[in-house]
Structure 1
Amino acid sequence: MFSFTSSIPVIHPPHEQTHLGKSGKSSTGNNEGQAGSDNATNTGSGYSPIVHCILAGGIGGAIGDSVMHSLDTVKTRQQGAPNTAKYKHMLSAYKTIFVEEGIRKGLYGGYSAAMMGSLPSAAIFFGTYEFLKRKMIDDWAVNETVSHLTAGLGGDLVSSVVYVPSEVLKTRLQLQGRLNNPHFHSGYSYRSFRDALMTVVRTEGWQTLFFGYKATLSRDLPFSAFQFAFYEKFRQWAFRLESKSHGQDLSVFSELGTGAAAGGLAGILTTPLDVIKTRIQTQRPSSKSMDGQQVIRIENSLVKGLGAVYRSEGALGFFSGVGPRFIWASVQSSIMLLLYQVTLKSLDRYA
């Protein structure tokens, strides 16, 4: 997710091998890779209140997405306009958008739409994740790994009601840039986020806000699963490399590095699904050209969308925008995880 949302892809806090019973006391296992892990949802004497998780998740998600929004715009241009030569390469595309369109309407186009989805969807995700995880482990005695993965999927499903509509509007505004953009013709002419919302609902129907819903979930659910598995494994390696034992914490460098590696690899693996999601959400109601290039229309179907991309662009088309997505997922995951933990600890300390 965070994909979240979100498009916040999301780094789930490490809980593996740490079972918290109904009393709220922690009982940490002897797995070396997990020993000493910083349980972001446990203060040591008990669970953090759900409301703290909601606040910390919202803050971490919003700041992480804010920092990386400009790179997400580059990725959207590459995926939404694959035949536009000036957006083919990540660095040159970033420079081109900055020089031609500036920061506010160019690189940070669609930022308002992004924040309308990022903060509440991240908050909802972490609240749902924590509730489901505690319920499954403490009350239903479900295996911890299964509980964490299921809670992560549940968090994505619940928060998707918020972040998918915002993702549709965000990607269209990112593709458009400024109103009547002389440097890139997207086919859109929205004056603002509010105008985009009203225009889409009035001319295309509210259902359009959920275009690509299945494609978005198909991207975000496996992203969360891959990310969680990678993150836990990388942390085990980091503990061994640093020769850390029970009760010790990893260095900041390792915390950031493991989160970045997990998010980046998950981002690469789910890029084909991200391409389809972007194409479905940004295409016009009827087949029209974009910046002088004919756009292949993709039906609101994941399988048919993959087939359409392959026929028109070949296998490389599945990885359009993979560079920006890899960097975005890596950096955003590290920032979000670190801020989530720091904010949660602060809230617990001063509660």
Structure 2
Amino acid sequence: MAQPNTEPVEEYDYEGLPPNFSVLQNLTAGAFAGIAEHTVMYPIDAIKTRMQILNPTPSAVYNGMIQGGYRIATGEGILSLWRGMSSVVVGAGPAHAVYFLTYEAVKHMMGANQAGVHHPLAAALSGACATTVSDALMNPFDVIKQRMQMHNSRQMYKSMPDCARYIYKREGVKAFFISYPTTLSMTIPYTSLQFLAYETLSTTMNPAKKYDPLSHCTAGALAGGFAAALTTPMDVMKTMLQTRGTATDTELRNVSGFKDSARILYQREGFRGFFKGVRPRVVTAMPSTAICWSAYEACKAYFISKNDATI
């Protein structure tokens, strides 16, 4: 008769990379989290994009989330609020899979997975590395998404592939990546702030670092809203660069980068222009980040328990 294994099981910090958590499982958890995050709050993101457009036509001026959502739904149909979501679904899976894999790997390399020890610098640096890699994958899909979110986009693009072909033929490959440096200027501080806030809040709320859906959800929401509000100016400039190909204004159509977009924005709308769409951005970020972290932690906990059961 086989004797039970009486050797002590090695303990690991739940928030870190457990030794029996495979790369494929981490990729799966990240992909699941990314798709869940982007799809649930997509309509609010669509309203935010419309509100951030500089020099819109009179029929595409939106004064707030409720008014903007009502005008889009009644004028273009309720499904217009989800137009372009296919681009997010296709891009968010692999981008977020790489995002969380990089985050966990860098955090592990920096020795931040020791139980009971909080490493804010490691969390911030891990987030910065994660977003640099994932944004390179996501940026083209984000460009397509924002083009399809714009007013009257149905007249220009029938589908995601059609939009991609249209952009490529008229503007070349450069159009898919011209906003990448500006995107990083937003996402690196956004992700660093978010991960720093999330790790701090989740450690405070859940010092035992066990799987706790409530603390993961709450910490994710607060961290996301905090980071989103502070990085809105870069998001506005990113939108300007990603939608420049549809502008009728010559200056907007030829905007060349971060400095140029900042100059134009300040000249035309002053300091307030840098915070266009801040409310829908925060409203989107809080539940989206809560969903993202909750989905990731739930998937991670499932794989850990499944792996432990087979040992």
Identical-pair percentage: 28
Q: Deviations over 1:3-58 (max 9, x none)?
A: xxxxxxxxxxxxxxxxxxxx97437xxxxxxxxxxx34455xx4522221110110
Are residues 1:150 and 2:125 paired? yes
AA partner of residue 26 (structure 1)? Y
**Higher helix content, 1 or 2:** 2
Q: 2:107 aligns with which of 119, 130, 133?
A: 133
Q: Deviations over 1:215-257 (max 9, x none)?
A: 1011000001111222234345546xxxxx64777671x4322
Name 1:321's counterpart in structure 2.
277
CA distance in 1, matches of 2:264, 2:43: 28
Name 1:228's counterpart in structure 2.
195
Name 2:12's counterpart in structure 1.
26
Superposed displacement of residue 305, structure 1: 1.3
Name 1:278's counterpart in structure 2.
239
- 8 Å contact kept, 2:123–2:199: no
Are residues 1:75 and 2:37 paired? no
Uncovered stretches (5+) of structure 2, i.e. residues with no partner? 1-8, 113-117
Aligned-partner SS, 2:154: coil
Are residues 1:348 and 2:304 paired? yes
Q: 2:32 aligns with which of 45, 59, 71?
A: 59
Name 1:208's counterpart in structure 2.
175
AA partner of residue 100 (structure 2)? F
Superposed displacement of residue 204, structure 1: 1.3
Superposed displacement of residue 128, structure 1: 1.7
CA distance in 2, matches of 1:144, 1:60: 23
Q: 2:147 aligns with which of 172, 175, 180?
A: 172
Aligned-partner SS, 1:196: helix
| TM-score, length basis structure 2 | 0.85
Aligned-partner SS, 2:255: coil
Superposed displacement of residue 120, structure 1: 0.9
AA partner of residue 73 (structure 2)? F
Superposed displacement of residue 176, structure 1: 4.2
Uncovered stretches (5+) of structure 1, i.e. residues with no partner? 1-22, 28-38, 181-188, 240-244
AA partner of residue 288 (structure 1)? T
CA distance in 2, matches of 1:129, 1:26: 17
Superposed displacement of residue 96, structure 1: 1.2
User: Which piece of structure 1 moves more, 86-95 or 117-126?
Assistant: 86-95
What is the aligned length? 293
- 8 Å contact kept, 1:41–1:344: no
In the superposition, relative to structure 1, how do residues 122 and 147 fare at CA in structure 2: closer, same or farther (>3 Å)?
Answer: same
Q: 2:65 aligns with which of 82, 90, 104?
A: 90
Aligned-partner SS, 2:150: helix
AA partner of residue 105 (structure 2)? F
Q: 1:120 aligns with which of 87, 90, 94?
A: 94
- 8 Å contact kept, 1:212–1:281: yes
AA partner of residue 99 (structure 1)? T
Name 1:288's counterpart in structure 2.
248
In the superposition, relative to structure 1, how do residues 221 and 47 fare at CA in structure 2: closer, same or farther (>3 Å)?
Answer: farther
CA distance in 2, matches of 1:90, 1:47: 45
Aligned-partner SS, 1:26: coil
CA-based RMSD of the aligned residues comes to 2.7
CA distance in 1, matches of 2:188, 2:254: 22
Q: Deviations over 1:57-83 (max 9, x none)?
A: 100110111001111100000012565
| TM-score, length basis structure 1 | 0.76
In the superposition, relative to structure 1, how do residues 334 and 216 fare at CA in structure 2: closer, same or farther (>3 Å)?
Answer: same
Name 1:242's counterpart in structure 2.
none
